[in-house]
Chain A
Amino acid sequence: AQTVTQSQPEMSVQEAETVTLSCTYDTSESDYYLFWYKQPPSRQMILVIRQEAYKQQNATENRFSVNFQKAAKSFSLKISDSQLGDAAMYFCAYRLMNSGNTPLVFGKGTRLSVIA
């Protein structure tokens, strides 16, 4: 079974600084998606960034970028120029890329605090 591990229950960062959230996963498959979701106090899960495993280039969305290391099964999220609105729970998630449907598998999350 696929598993996703987030080893940092809590992280904090000063406003305008950079922070990296860690994620590792376990799978024997070669084709899959990886995601970072943000869950603010409003509780709605918001997709931050997505990476296809077949792509070597790391995904980037404005201030958010990932470091995808397929061989190491590592998928970290870097947030640059941190803003107060970035404070939230961040979940790493995995899903098989196949013709059927497999559900998202989430990690336990990392709570990010942004200090003004």
Chain B
Amino acid sequence: DTGVSQDPRHKITKRGQNVTFRCDPISEHNRLYWYRQTLGQGPEFLTYFQNEAQLEKSRLLSDRFSAERPKGSFSTLEIQRTEQGDSAMYLCASSFVETNEKLFFGSGTQLSVL
């Protein structure tokens, strides 16, 4: 296993378009997190899953954002009707619940909304 992988690494889109990102966690990890990181800031929590259940969502996650983890493995994060303020790096992380404090991060998807 090579760690947490995210696809794509970069996404450029026009305002108003929908985008979807994918995250593949480390295979035995049952928790999966999404964070957003804007320039000059640390990552901010968006949402997390334990297996296929989405257990918590941040107030940062507007109605235009939806995340899924249908089979408790990979996850997708969709942003509808993108806005320029959505431009950021979207980070995925995973952990095994028994050692929850150890998060392993992917390399992120950099979104640019023109």
State whether A106 touches B33 (Cβ < 8 A). Answer: no
Give the distance to chain B from A77, nearest Cβ to Cβ, in Å.
Answer: 14
Partner-binding segment picked from A39-47, A65-73, A78-86: A39-47
Q: Interface residues of B, CB < 8 Å — how many?
A: 27
A33 / chain B contacts, CB cutoff of 8 Å: 101
The yes or no answer to B17 lying at the interface (CB within 8 A) is no
Within 8 A of B (CB), among A1-16: 4
The yes or no answer to B106 lying at the interface (CB within 8 A) is yes
State whether A106 touches B31 (Cβ < 8 A). Answer: no
Q: Which of B44, B89, B102 contacts A106 (CB 8 A)?
A: B44
CA–CA, A103 to B32, complex, Å? 11
CA–CA, A33 to B33, complex, Å? 18
Give the distance to chain B from A63, nearest Cβ to Cβ, in Å.
Answer: 20
B106 / chain A contacts, CB cutoff of 8 Å: 44
